Structure 1
Protein backbone atom coordinates (compact mmCIF):
# COMPACT_ATOMS: atom_id res chain seq x y z
CA UNK A 1 0.00 0.00 0.00
CA UNK A 2 2.84 2.40 0.84
CA UNK A 3 4.34 1.84 -2.60
CA UNK A 4 1.01 2.73 -4.24
CA UNK A 5 0.82 6.01 -2.32
CA UNK A 6 4.27 7.04 -3.54
CA UNK A 7 3.49 5.80 -7.03
CA UNK A 8 0.34 7.95 -7.04
CA UNK A 9 2.46 11.00 -6.10
CA UNK A 10 4.78 10.19 -9.00
CA UNK A 11 1.83 9.75 -11.36
CA UNK A 12 0.50 13.14 -10.29
CA UNK A 13 3.87 14.69 -11.11
CA UNK A 14 3.92 12.91 -14.46
CA UNK A 15 0.38 14.03 -15.23
CA UNK A 16 1.63 17.58 -15.76
CA UNK A 17 2.84 16.28 -19.12
CA UNK A 18 -0.79 15.80 -20.14
CA UNK A 19 -1.55 19.47 -19.54
CA UNK A 20 1.74 20.91 -20.77
CA UNK A 21 2.76 18.97 -23.86
CA UNK A 22 5.80 19.85 -25.96
CA UNK A 23 3.79 20.74 -29.07
CA UNK A 24 4.86 22.93 -31.97
CA UNK A 25 6.74 25.39 -29.75
CA UNK A 26 9.14 22.66 -28.63
CA UNK A 27 9.37 21.17 -32.13
CA UNK A 28 10.55 24.55 -33.41
CA UNK A 29 13.40 24.88 -30.92
CA UNK A 30 16.99 24.20 -31.86
CA UNK A 31 17.94 21.07 -29.92
CA UNK A 32 21.30 19.33 -29.54
CA UNK A 33 22.09 16.22 -31.58
CA UNK A 34 22.04 14.05 -28.45
CA UNK A 35 18.35 14.77 -27.82
CA UNK A 36 16.63 11.39 -27.40
CA UNK A 37 13.75 10.55 -29.73
CA UNK A 38 10.32 11.51 -28.42
CA UNK A 39 9.26 7.95 -27.56
CA UNK A 40 12.13 7.63 -25.05
CA UNK A 41 10.72 10.23 -22.66
CA UNK A 42 7.50 8.45 -21.58
CA UNK A 43 9.33 5.12 -21.33
CA UNK A 44 12.13 6.63 -19.25
CA UNK A 45 9.80 8.59 -16.96
CA UNK A 46 7.49 5.63 -16.37
CA UNK A 47 10.46 3.49 -15.38
CA UNK A 48 11.94 6.25 -13.23
CA UNK A 49 8.68 6.94 -11.41
CA UNK A 50 8.37 3.26 -10.47
CA UNK A 51 11.95 3.27 -9.14
CA UNK A 52 11.43 6.56 -7.27
CA UNK A 53 8.24 5.24 -5.63
CA UNK A 54 9.91 1.92 -4.78
CA UNK A 55 12.80 3.76 -3.14
CA UNK A 56 10.43 5.88 -1.05
CA UNK A 57 8.36 2.86 -0.02
CA UNK A 58 11.51 1.11 1.22
CA UNK A 59 12.49 4.20 3.21
CA UNK A 60 9.06 4.99 4.65
CA UNK A 61 9.13 2.35 7.35
CA UNK A 62 12.69 2.94 8.52
CA UNK A 63 13.57 4.73 11.75
CA UNK A 64 15.29 8.05 11.12
CA UNK A 65 13.84 8.45 7.63
CA UNK A 66 12.03 11.75 8.30
CA UNK A 67 14.60 13.99 6.62
CA UNK A 68 14.98 11.62 3.68
CA UNK A 69 11.21 11.55 3.14
CA UNK A 70 11.09 15.36 3.36
CA UNK A 71 13.72 15.47 0.62
CA UNK A 72 11.65 12.97 -1.36
CA UNK A 73 8.65 15.29 -1.06
CA UNK A 74 10.76 18.27 -2.16
CA UNK A 75 12.09 16.44 -5.21
CA UNK A 76 8.62 15.38 -6.34
CA UNK A 77 7.41 18.99 -5.95
CA UNK A 78 10.33 20.30 -8.03
CA UNK A 79 9.78 17.51 -10.54
CA UNK A 80 6.14 18.55 -10.85
CA UNK A 81 7.05 22.21 -11.26
CA UNK A 82 9.53 21.81 -14.12
CA UNK A 83 7.07 20.76 -16.84
CA UNK A 84 4.68 23.75 -16.61
CA UNK A 85 7.61 26.16 -16.38
CA UNK A 86 9.45 24.69 -19.39
CA UNK A 87 6.60 23.55 -21.65
CA UNK A 88 3.82 25.80 -20.36
CA UNK A 89 5.48 29.14 -19.63
CA UNK A 90 8.42 28.58 -22.02
CA UNK A 91 10.75 29.89 -19.31
CA UNK A 92 13.91 28.01 -20.21
CA UNK A 93 16.16 29.80 -17.70
CA UNK A 94 13.72 29.38 -14.84
CA UNK A 95 13.28 25.72 -15.79
CA UNK A 96 17.06 25.33 -15.70
CA UNK A 97 17.14 26.71 -12.15
CA UNK A 98 14.40 24.29 -11.09
CA UNK A 99 16.25 21.41 -12.70
CA UNK A 100 19.53 22.37 -11.02
CA UNK A 101 17.77 22.47 -7.65
CA UNK A 102 16.06 19.15 -8.41
CA UNK A 103 19.40 17.55 -9.33
CA UNK A 104 20.96 18.75 -6.07
CA UNK A 105 18.03 17.55 -3.94
CA UNK A 106 18.05 14.13 -5.61
CA UNK A 107 21.82 13.82 -5.17
CA UNK A 108 21.53 14.54 -1.43
CA UNK A 109 18.45 12.29 -1.20
CA UNK A 110 20.33 9.45 -2.89
CA UNK A 111 23.29 9.69 -0.49
CA UNK A 112 21.05 9.89 2.57
CA UNK A 113 18.84 7.06 1.32
CA UNK A 114 21.93 4.92 0.68
CA UNK A 115 22.92 5.33 4.32
CA UNK A 116 19.54 4.03 5.48
CA UNK A 117 18.96 1.36 2.84
CA UNK A 118 21.47 0.66 0.07
CA UNK A 119 18.86 -0.56 -2.38
CA UNK A 120 16.70 2.53 -1.81
CA UNK A 121 19.71 4.71 -2.59
CA UNK A 122 20.70 2.65 -5.62
CA UNK A 123 17.16 2.87 -7.02
CA UNK A 124 17.66 6.64 -7.32
CA UNK A 125 20.84 6.42 -9.40
CA UNK A 126 19.03 6.12 -12.77
CA UNK A 127 16.94 9.16 -11.80
CA UNK A 128 20.05 11.22 -11.10
CA UNK A 129 21.59 10.05 -14.38
CA UNK A 130 18.44 11.02 -16.29
CA UNK A 131 18.35 14.42 -14.56
CA UNK A 132 21.93 14.96 -15.65
CA UNK A 133 20.90 14.35 -19.26
CA UNK A 134 17.77 16.48 -18.82
CA UNK A 135 19.83 19.31 -17.34
CA UNK A 136 22.29 19.17 -20.21
CA UNK A 137 19.38 19.25 -22.68
CA UNK A 138 17.63 22.09 -20.85
CA UNK A 139 20.82 24.15 -20.72
CA UNK A 140 21.67 23.51 -24.37
CA UNK A 141 18.16 24.39 -25.54
CA UNK A 142 18.21 27.53 -23.41
CA UNK A 143 21.56 28.62 -24.83
CA UNK A 144 20.73 27.72 -28.45
CA UNK A 145 17.39 29.54 -28.50
CA UNK A 146 18.18 33.06 -27.27
CA UNK A 147 14.90 34.51 -28.60
CA UNK A 148 12.82 32.45 -26.20
CA UNK A 149 11.87 33.64 -22.76
CA UNK A 150 14.40 33.09 -19.99
Structure 2
Protein backbone atom coordinates (compact mmCIF):
# COMPACT_ATOMS: atom_id res chain seq x y z
CA UNK A 1 0.00 0.00 0.00
CA UNK A 2 2.84 2.39 0.83
CA UNK A 3 4.47 1.64 -2.52
CA UNK A 4 1.23 2.33 -4.39
CA UNK A 5 0.66 5.51 -2.38
CA UNK A 6 4.12 6.92 -3.11
CA UNK A 7 3.82 6.18 -6.82
CA UNK A 8 0.54 8.08 -7.02
CA UNK A 9 2.29 11.23 -5.78
CA UNK A 10 4.97 11.44 -8.46
CA UNK A 11 6.58 14.80 -8.80
CA UNK A 12 4.82 16.94 -11.38
CA UNK A 13 5.12 20.55 -12.36
CA UNK A 14 2.54 22.76 -10.66
CA UNK A 15 -0.64 23.48 -12.61
CA UNK A 16 -2.60 26.73 -12.68
CA UNK A 17 -5.88 27.60 -14.36
CA UNK A 18 -6.40 31.25 -15.24
CA UNK A 19 -10.00 32.22 -16.06
CA UNK A 20 -10.70 35.59 -17.68
CA UNK A 21 -14.41 36.42 -17.74
CA UNK A 22 -15.71 38.95 -20.27
CA UNK A 23 -12.36 39.11 -22.06
CA UNK A 24 -13.98 41.36 -24.67
CA UNK A 25 -13.79 44.23 -22.16
CA UNK A 26 -9.98 43.94 -22.29
CA UNK A 27 -9.29 42.52 -25.74
CA UNK A 28 -11.43 44.44 -28.22
CA UNK A 29 -10.07 44.77 -31.72
CA UNK A 30 -7.47 47.56 -31.77
CA UNK A 31 -8.23 48.45 -35.40
CA UNK A 32 -11.86 49.39 -34.77
CA UNK A 33 -13.84 52.57 -35.24
CA UNK A 34 -11.68 55.64 -34.78
CA UNK A 35 -8.39 53.98 -35.73
CA UNK A 36 -5.83 51.87 -33.93
CA UNK A 37 -6.21 51.99 -30.16
CA UNK A 38 -9.11 54.38 -30.28
CA UNK A 39 -12.52 54.22 -28.75
CA UNK A 40 -15.44 56.42 -29.69
CA UNK A 41 -14.75 59.75 -28.04
CA UNK A 42 -11.01 59.25 -27.37
CA UNK A 43 -8.14 56.84 -26.90
CA UNK A 44 -8.03 53.86 -24.61
CA UNK A 45 -4.29 53.51 -24.03
CA UNK A 46 -4.65 51.63 -20.73
CA UNK A 47 -6.78 48.92 -22.31
CA UNK A 48 -4.37 48.58 -25.23
CA UNK A 49 -1.40 48.36 -22.85
CA UNK A 50 -3.16 45.67 -20.82
CA UNK A 51 -3.97 43.73 -24.00
CA UNK A 52 -0.36 44.00 -25.18
CA UNK A 53 0.85 42.74 -21.79
CA UNK A 54 -1.57 39.78 -21.94
CA UNK A 55 -0.45 38.91 -25.48
CA UNK A 56 3.22 39.08 -24.45
CA UNK A 57 2.59 36.80 -21.46
CA UNK A 58 0.72 34.30 -23.61
CA UNK A 59 3.62 34.24 -26.06
CA UNK A 60 5.78 32.95 -23.20
CA UNK A 61 3.65 29.81 -22.83
CA UNK A 62 4.72 26.58 -24.52
CA UNK A 63 2.07 24.05 -25.50
CA UNK A 64 3.06 20.66 -24.11
CA UNK A 65 2.50 17.40 -25.90
CA UNK A 66 -0.37 16.58 -23.52
CA UNK A 67 -2.29 19.67 -24.61
CA UNK A 68 -1.37 21.64 -21.49
CA UNK A 69 0.53 24.89 -21.73
CA UNK A 70 3.94 25.23 -20.12
CA UNK A 71 5.51 28.58 -19.38
CA UNK A 72 8.76 28.74 -21.32
CA UNK A 73 9.42 25.06 -20.78
CA UNK A 74 11.14 22.26 -22.60
CA UNK A 75 9.16 19.34 -23.93
CA UNK A 76 9.56 15.61 -23.44
CA UNK A 77 10.91 15.25 -19.90
CA UNK A 78 11.76 11.72 -18.90
CA UNK A 79 12.22 11.55 -15.14
CA UNK A 80 10.53 12.68 -11.92
CA UNK A 81 13.49 14.95 -11.19
CA UNK A 82 13.02 16.66 -14.54
CA UNK A 83 9.27 16.82 -13.94
CA UNK A 84 9.80 18.58 -10.60
CA UNK A 85 12.10 21.11 -12.27
CA UNK A 86 9.78 21.61 -15.26
CA UNK A 87 8.01 24.93 -15.64
CA UNK A 88 4.42 25.10 -14.40
CA UNK A 89 1.51 24.08 -16.60
CA UNK A 90 -0.77 27.06 -17.19
CA UNK A 91 -4.24 26.66 -18.68
CA UNK A 92 -5.81 29.94 -19.76
CA UNK A 93 -9.58 29.98 -20.27
CA UNK A 94 -11.55 33.05 -21.31
CA UNK A 95 -15.23 33.74 -21.82
CA UNK A 96 -17.09 36.30 -23.88
CA UNK A 97 -20.59 36.93 -25.15
CA UNK A 98 -19.16 38.92 -28.07
CA UNK A 99 -16.47 36.91 -29.90
CA UNK A 100 -16.77 39.09 -33.01
CA UNK A 101 -15.19 42.11 -31.26
CA UNK A 102 -12.05 40.27 -30.05
CA UNK A 103 -8.68 41.35 -31.37
CA UNK A 104 -7.48 38.84 -34.01
CA UNK A 105 -4.03 38.74 -32.37
CA UNK A 106 -5.64 37.07 -29.36
CA UNK A 107 -7.12 34.28 -31.47
CA UNK A 108 -4.08 33.33 -33.51
CA UNK A 109 -2.52 29.86 -33.10
CA UNK A 110 -0.54 29.53 -29.90
CA UNK A 111 -2.77 31.82 -27.88
CA UNK A 112 -6.50 31.06 -27.79
CA UNK A 113 -6.64 28.52 -30.59
CA UNK A 114 -9.39 26.30 -29.19
CA UNK A 115 -12.85 27.84 -29.24
CA UNK A 116 -15.85 26.25 -27.54
CA UNK A 117 -19.31 27.65 -28.20
CA UNK A 118 -21.77 27.26 -25.35
CA UNK A 119 -25.30 27.68 -26.68
CA UNK A 120 -28.52 28.29 -24.85
CA UNK A 121 -30.17 25.08 -23.60
CA UNK A 122 -33.08 23.66 -25.57
CA UNK A 123 -36.52 23.33 -23.95
CA UNK A 124 -35.58 20.04 -22.24
CA UNK A 125 -32.40 21.58 -20.88
CA UNK A 126 -34.24 24.65 -19.60
CA UNK A 127 -36.75 22.40 -17.86
CA UNK A 128 -33.93 20.42 -16.22
CA UNK A 129 -32.31 23.64 -14.97
CA UNK A 130 -35.65 24.87 -13.64
CA UNK A 131 -36.26 21.60 -11.78
CA UNK A 132 -32.86 21.82 -10.09
CA UNK A 133 -33.62 25.34 -8.87
CA UNK A 134 -37.19 24.47 -7.82
CA UNK A 135 -36.15 21.61 -5.52
CA UNK A 136 -35.88 23.90 -2.50
CA UNK A 137 -38.78 26.19 -3.37
CA UNK A 138 -42.19 25.63 -1.83
CA UNK A 139 -44.97 25.46 -4.36
CA UNK A 140 -48.27 23.62 -4.74
CA UNK A 141 -46.76 20.81 -6.81
CA UNK A 142 -48.56 21.55 -10.03
CA UNK A 143 -46.36 21.34 -13.08
CA UNK A 144 -46.73 24.52 -15.12
CA UNK A 145 -43.33 24.26 -16.82
CA UNK A 146 -44.78 23.18 -20.18
CA UNK A 147 -47.48 25.75 -20.49
**TM-score after normalising by structure 1:** 0.28
Instruction: Name whichever structure is richer in helix by fraction.
Output: 1
Tell me which structure has the larger Cα radius of gyration.
Answer: 2
Instruction: Name whichever structure is richer in strand by fraction.
Output: 2
**TM-score after normalising by structure 2:** 0.28
